[in-house]
Structure 1
Amino acid sequence: MRRKIIVKLLFAGAMLAGVSNSFAQEVKENNQEQFGEFINRKGTYTRSASGKPNLGYWQNEADYQIAVTLDDSLHTLSGNITLTYTNNSPENLDFIWMQMEQNRFTEDSRGTLTTPIQGNRYNGDVDGGYDIANLQAKVGSKGSVSTKHIVSDTRMQVWFNEPIPAKGGTATVSMDFSFKVPVDGMDRMGRLEVEDGWIYAFAQWYPKVAVFDDIEGWNVEPYLGAGEFYLEYGDFDYKVTVPYDHIVVGSGELLNPKEVLSKELQDRYAKAQESDTTVMLVTADELGNTELTRPKQDGTVTWHFAIQNSRDIAFASSKAFIWDAAKIDLPSGKKILAQSVYPKESNGEEAWSRSTEYSKASIEHYSEKWFEFPYASATNVAADINGMEYPGLNFCSYNSKGEDLWGVTDHEFGHNWFPMIVGTNERRYAWMDEGFNTFINHYSTLEFNNGEYPSTLNETRRYVNFFTSETREGIDTYPDVVNISNLGMLAYNKPAMGLLMLREYILGHDRFDNAFKSYIKTWAYKHPQPSDFFNHMENVAGENLSWFWQGWFYGTGNIDLGVSAVVPYAGNYVVVLANKGDMPMPVLMEVTYDDGTTERKMLPVEIWQRGDTWNYLLKTDKKVSGVVIDPDKLLPDVNLGNDSWPQALYEK
């Protein structure tokens, strides 16, 4: 039956050849609009056309000193903060804007008022918000003190009595603050009660300065829900005072282990820093045995942390924490600490007992493949949070197990590269952190324990229902605007598939990896825009990819490549190809011959510049028995039915 179909199709092809005098390409209306520039990517004084910071690039700095106290009876956090702000911009600043994200947890916040009645992932308590007192702001060391400030939803404008000078002027802002810790913190922070006590997960917990940049000036989008964060880099020194029986883990390095750990726990802590396998610091059986693990048996203890060149900090505190740790080996030879804290409800080899193993593998993989992890510790915290990332610290669901726990741990640690190291604006461009991270997660998962858990990112055709949905939106839709049901595809999967196609189909491993690693290194601890990424990838990879950025990242069109016919011609064959989709794409074609051999041909994207059909002359002295395009099914092509010739050959 198969042989008869092939013969009939070849005969039809021969008839077609007889009708046409040649297979010269017909000149039609061209497709140049798909290949031209679609956004302004010209270089400026601050950002070069090659996708690098230019001579005039500047970035402001924010350094913080913070001291807070947790009251676990009232569930409040209170303390004081001193921000030292350096204005490296070319203009004097009369004021600064600060992010006041705890104000999201009030009845009349914009985030509360824009949450649908049925709710969504970003629900939050409404009985919280900041109490601010004793605010003082001054320029330099001798400036006069201003107390003028305006709080507007999740922003606060702080005025100075004289401007902060351009190109290096400094100012300080100090204040006391307190807030009630929400139970439901929009799946990003909060508190969870377990059998042995409360777990407190602190994020968005201190007033922080907004970004002032060369693109928007002050970035003052309110904190609504889906949109995440955009922050300046600086050094943090912070102290957390808690009840004596709590364990605290935080972003950065613990500076005073001798003051907060018993001698036994100090010894275990030191052992973990030299161990390739997980070392138990506090076991399930030792919960409540503070004489073994804590230096004090009453009152409070202050834990002291620091982290440099970071954009944020987070921490967790609880008396219910099991605690384990192991060594992470970095490519430079430096050794840092992977650690996990979790309640006994999360204990077990199928659950959080493997968390530190996962954490170590994740950090080591990304450090080796892309860019070395810069911080002193990598901490995974079990909480009532599905997954949220901060520099060197994650919050992941205390119910996660097995493959799910690996996936969320690896994903949240991957965020240390995007957006913690490469400091993109998450509130506007979620795809530049979620999508890039989802992409690197794919390779980390493939490598972990030689593929212990599967990755499905390359199974792009399972998402055809989204690509053909009438309610689909573009990747460039702001996260606070996008339909929540589309957010997973637009922020995570579709941009990740785009990078996958670039690496595995369009550019190849070497060209892509050189460009992507160069992008990370070039923009580490800086603020790239989408155009900077596009320009940098093109310049290092040596490829004009405007057609791809436009079609995949800034449109809702789909890929639909097809084989229309395979026709004998002058002792060879002509393969007739069609682009029936909305965007062009190179064509990888696998030809099967009647002797069972195969060969692959890659046709460049430029075949579609003059029209949507292309005739390819296949020179061979063998008999062709089949042709299939995209043989590895890597492209999210929305029509599988026209990918091969003859169709019946590939249906069996």
Structure 2
Amino acid sequence: MKFRFQTLCIAFSFLGIANVLYAQDAVPNNQPKFDEFMYRRGNEYRSASGIPGPQYWQNSADYVIEAELDDTKNVLKGKLTMTYHNNSPEALPYIWMYVEQNRFTENSRGTLTTPSGGNRYAGDTDGGIKITYFAAKVHSSTSDKYLVNDTRMQVFFKEPIPAKGGKATVTMNFEFKIPKDGMDRMGRLESKQGTVYSIAQWYPKVAVFDDIVGWNTDPYLGAGEFFLEYGNFDYKITVPYDHIVVGSGELQNPEEVLTKEQISRFKKAADSDKTVYIIEPKEVGNTKNTRPQQKGTVTWHFKMNNTRDVAFASSKSFIWDAAKINLPSGKKALAQSVYPAESNGKEGWSRSTEYTKNSIENYSKKWFEYPYPVAVNVASNVGGMEYPGVSFCGGNSKGASLWDVTDHEFGHNWFPMIVGSNERRYPWMDEGFNTFINYYSTKEFNKGEYQSDIADAKSKVAWMKWNGREGINTYPDVARSMNLAYTAYYKPATGMIMLREYILGPERFDTAFKAYIENWAYKHPQPSDFFNAMDNGAGENLNWFWKGWFYGTGNIDLGIAEVKNTGKELQITFINKGEVPMPIVYDIYYTDGTKERKMLPVEIWQRGNKWTATIATSKAANRIQIDPDNLVPDIDPTDNLWMK
């Protein structure tokens, strides 16, 4: 459109403000709040539309592991062969692996950075991994050179792993003491009928090499969890004959480790929506009825494909039950629970399989189908921790508490087990998204048997006004302990609920979010990929929201400044006193008893922080309410309600 300079000069002269403009600073607009942020331009690896680019690549690793549990010394010994697939465009002279068992030593970085009073991520310090045999091979060249630094291990090859499809194998024998207190992620629970071993982070595993930073080698300190490559796992666990083992993936040799009666019960459970006992409470400790042999050791064999990790549990104290999981495609999976007698009961773990089944079915129907053959819940010394297909949850949990932890840990199968984000740096992409989907799962479980306060935005306001708060983008090992629950869980989940229910609406949000999950399933998205995916899928420029809510510590503070009834129209002046702009949803109550809902788009704040809405009506208003559904954590709600 052509704009004439002469017209502009006439306008300034008419208004009588030309001289004033030269005498004072210009009043800024709010464009910086809406500007682009981060580097979000697409390339051949990652598209600006939020999907993997045409040349996206990702390395992978396959594992064959044999391990033996010594329940007298609490030691696990293992033999590992890892086949590494280099799909990157560059040859690799070395790879980095994680030896996370070294976290449990006196001089580990994690131990040395644990506060003197301890925290959730304190743990035993008398452990550490021992590597008793090692070999690394590319083609026919074998190397025995490696370097261990804290929880990282650099493996060197005599010749580089070729780019775009090259392979290498790493073989090693290892052993470590199983910690009693394993940072609330693994360990030992003592029960009257035997120790429950929750075994995770139990083998050396390869780090992620990607197009963003190359090798992702952030040390394992505590709060930061995992970032792992996908691959296929074939693993065998040898235990005393009277133990039961459950683990990630499908049991390959049931005839060798189960009785005929237990196999029959499994078949019944696979067709039952009701929980079926595999080992009844009265049978625990009676090996004649529960074990196929009465001495020595037994080897349990599991396989799991296209997964980033595996974990398992072992004990002679397990009550064991199971039920069918119904998936949208018509496929079935099996929900299972194992727990000692102390955890049993109608309000306790006898409902665990019911909870597991419902959780998996809900997320499969609503977001993305569960891909694994089993979902196993283990009553553990661990308060709540997730691994692919296996969760460790507190053995003392009951009722709503057991539902909450079960639903949350199994929700992690979607974030980050299926959508493989970097938990070491961006916990909000797994904890926050998972807490968000937990809210809807809880609402729908058993006609609302339990309640969730995740959507109670007002309950988050006290923290958001606290001057010690930190941003969602704070790395987990950097965040203060009192902030991590908010930065990783509650604030991102609250933001996602606002985005779905208040800003976009369920239809647009669900379309974009499900596409994000599907496009990044079994891949490694970055925050920018998520932001681009949601912007494109919803057809909305959400820079103001990502920047304001997910990065930084700004707050929302909307208000009603003035209301005028002229008899022909209603004029409402809104103000934005906060750092984060937000659309305004508001209800108008009229004196005749009627009510109507209105919405103003976020763009009203682009030029300034005051906006007057005019509604043509002859009716008089006696009440106006901003955010009538209480979805927005406005830090000063006193001016959100106007009453005549």
TM-score normalised over the length of structure 2: 0.95
| Equivalent position of 1:297 in the other structure | 294
Q: Which residue identity is paired with 1:357?
A: E
Instruction: Report the alpha carbon displacement of residue 309 of structure 1 after superposing the two structures with TM.
Output: 0.2
1:159 aligns with 2:159: no
| Equivalent position of 1:485 in the other structure | 482
1:576 aligns with 2:564: no
| Equivalent position of 1:85 in the other structure | 84
| Equivalent position of 1:57 in the other structure | 56
Alpha-carbon distance in structure 2 between the residues aligned to 1:572 and 1:496 = 39
| Equivalent position of 1:4 in the other structure | none
Contact 2:381/2:394 (8 A) holds in 1:
yes
| Equivalent position of 1:524 in the other structure | 521
Paired residues, number: 619
Secondary structure of the residue aligned to 2:358 is helix
Secondary structure of the residue aligned to 2:143 is coil
Secondary structure of the residue aligned to 2:229 is coil
Contact 1:28/1:611 (8 A) holds in 2:
no
Instruction: Report the alpha carbon displacement of residue 570 of structure 1 after superposing the two structures with TM.
Output: 6.6
Alpha-carbon distance in structure 2 between the residues aligned to 1:157 and 1:311 = 20
| Equivalent position of 1:257 in the other structure | 254
Q: Which residue identity is paired with 1:417?
A: W
Contact 1:589/1:630 (8 A) holds in 2:
yes
Q: Map 1:74-473 to 2 at 5 A.
A: 74-140=73-139, 143-473=140-470
Alpha-carbon distance in structure 2 between the residues aligned to 1:539 and 1:443 = 24
- Higher relative contact order, chain-length normalized (CA < 8 Å, sep 6+): 1
Alpha-carbon distance in structure 1 between the residues aligned to 2:516 and 2:189 = 39
After TM superposition, where is structure 1 displaced by more than 3 Å over at least 4 residues in a row? none
Instruction: Report the alpha carbon displacement of residue 134 of structure 1 after superposing the two structures with TM.
Output: 1.5
Alpha-carbon distance in structure 2 between the residues aligned to 1:104 and 1:572 = 68
Instruction: Report the alpha carbon displacement of residue 569 of structure 1 after superposing the two structures with TM.
Output: 3.6
Contact 1:252/1:377 (8 A) holds in 2:
yes
- Which residue, out of 632, 636, 642, partners 1:635? 632
Q: Which residue identity is paired with 1:119?
A: G
Alpha-carbon distance in structure 1 between the residues aligned to 2:205 and 2:319 = 31
Secondary structure of the residue aligned to 1:64 is strand
Instruction: Report the alpha carbon displacement of residue 464 of structure 1 after superposing the two structures with TM.
Output: 1.1
Alpha-carbon distance in structure 2 between the residues aligned to 1:268 and 1:95 = 49
Instruction: Report the alpha carbon displacement of residue 620 of structure 1 after superposing the two structures with TM.
Output: 0.9
Deviations 1:306-356 (A, max 9, x none): 000000000000000000000001001011100000000000010000000
Instruction: Report the alpha carbon displacement of residue 626 of structure 1 after superposing the two structures with TM.
Output: 1.2
Q: Which residue identity is paired with 1:199?
A: V
Identify the range of structure 1 (288-297 vs 63-72) with the bigger mean alpha-carbon deviation: 288-297
Contact 2:76/2:176 (8 A) holds in 1:
yes
Alpha-carbon distance in structure 2 between the residues aligned to 1:397 and 1:466 = 27
Q: Which residue identity is paired with 1:87?
A: N
Deviations 1:536-559 (A, max 9, x none): 000010000000000000010110
1:72 aligns with 2:104: no
| Equivalent position of 1:48 in the other structure | 47
Instruction: Report the alpha carbon displacement of residue 102 of structure 1 after superposing the two structures with TM.
Output: 0.3
Alpha-carbon distance in structure 1 between the residues aligned to 2:554 and 2:537 = 27
Identify the range of structure 1 (637-646 vs 413-422) with the bigger mean alpha-carbon deviation: 637-646
Unaligned runs of 5+ in 2: 1-25
| Equivalent position of 1:495 in the other structure | 492
Deviations 1:133-163 (A, max 9, x none): 21000113xx211000000000000000000
Contact 1:342/1:382 (8 A) holds in 2:
yes
Instruction: Report the alpha carbon displacement of residue 568 of structure 1 after superposing the two structures with TM.
Output: 2.3
Deviations 1:164-185 (A, max 9, x none): 0000000000000000000000
Contact 1:28/1:610 (8 A) holds in 2:
no
Alpha-carbon distance in structure 2 between the residues aligned to 1:149 and 1:639 = 58
Alpha-carbon distance in structure 2 between the residues aligned to 1:198 and 1:236 = 26
Contact 2:565/2:620 (8 A) holds in 1:
no
Deviations 1:221-259 (A, max 9, x none): 000000000000000000000000000000010111111
Alpha-carbon distance in structure 2 between the residues aligned to 1:623 and 1:488 = 45
Secondary structure of the residue aligned to 1:462 is helix
Alpha-carbon distance in structure 1 between the residues aligned to 2:259 and 2:630 = 57
Deviations 1:27-78 (A, max 9, x none): 9521000000121111122101001110121000100000000000110000
Alpha-carbon distance in structure 2 between the residues aligned to 1:573 and 1:192 = 66
Unaligned runs of 5+ in 1: 1-26
Q: Which residue identity is paired with 1:443?
A: Y
| Equivalent position of 1:37 in the other structure | 36
Contact 1:429/1:479 (8 A) holds in 2:
yes
Secondary structure of the residue aligned to 1:536 is helix
Alpha-carbon distance in structure 2 between the residues aligned to 1:244 and 1:619 = 81
Contact 2:136/2:142 (8 A) holds in 1:
yes
Q: Which residue identity is paired with 1:554?
A: Y
Identify the range of structure 1 (369-378 vs 266-275) with the bigger mean alpha-carbon deviation: 266-275
TM-score normalised over the length of structure 1: 0.94
Deviations 1:398-441 (A, max 9, x none): 00000000000000000000000000000000000000000000
Contact 1:98/1:158 (8 A) holds in 2:
yes
1:614 aligns with 2:611: yes
Deviations 1:250-298 (A, max 9, x none): 0010111111001111111111111110001111111111111111100
Secondary structure of the residue aligned to 2:236 is strand
Q: Which residue identity is paired with 1:582?
A: E
Contact 2:567/2:620 (8 A) holds in 1:
no
Q: Which residue identity is paired with 2:276?
A: V
Contact 1:578/1:613 (8 A) holds in 2:
yes
Identity level (%): 64
Alpha-carbon distance in structure 2 between the residues aligned to 1:484 and 1:639 = 26
Q: Which residue identity is paired with 1:598?
A: K
- Which residue, out of 586, 589, 593, partners 2:586? 589
Contact 1:95/1:157 (8 A) holds in 2:
yes
Contact 1:95/1:160 (8 A) holds in 2:
yes
Alpha-carbon distance in structure 2 between the residues aligned to 1:442 and 1:78 = 41
Secondary structure of the residue aligned to 2:142 is coil
Alpha-carbon distance in structure 1 between the residues aligned to 2:110 and 2:91 = 32
Alpha-carbon distance in structure 2 between the residues aligned to 1:265 and 1:294 = 9
Instruction: Report the alpha carbon displacement of residue 482 of structure 1 after superposing the two structures with TM.
Output: 0.3
Alpha-carbon distance in structure 2 between the residues aligned to 1:90 and 1:386 = 42
Contact 1:203/1:315 (8 A) holds in 2:
yes
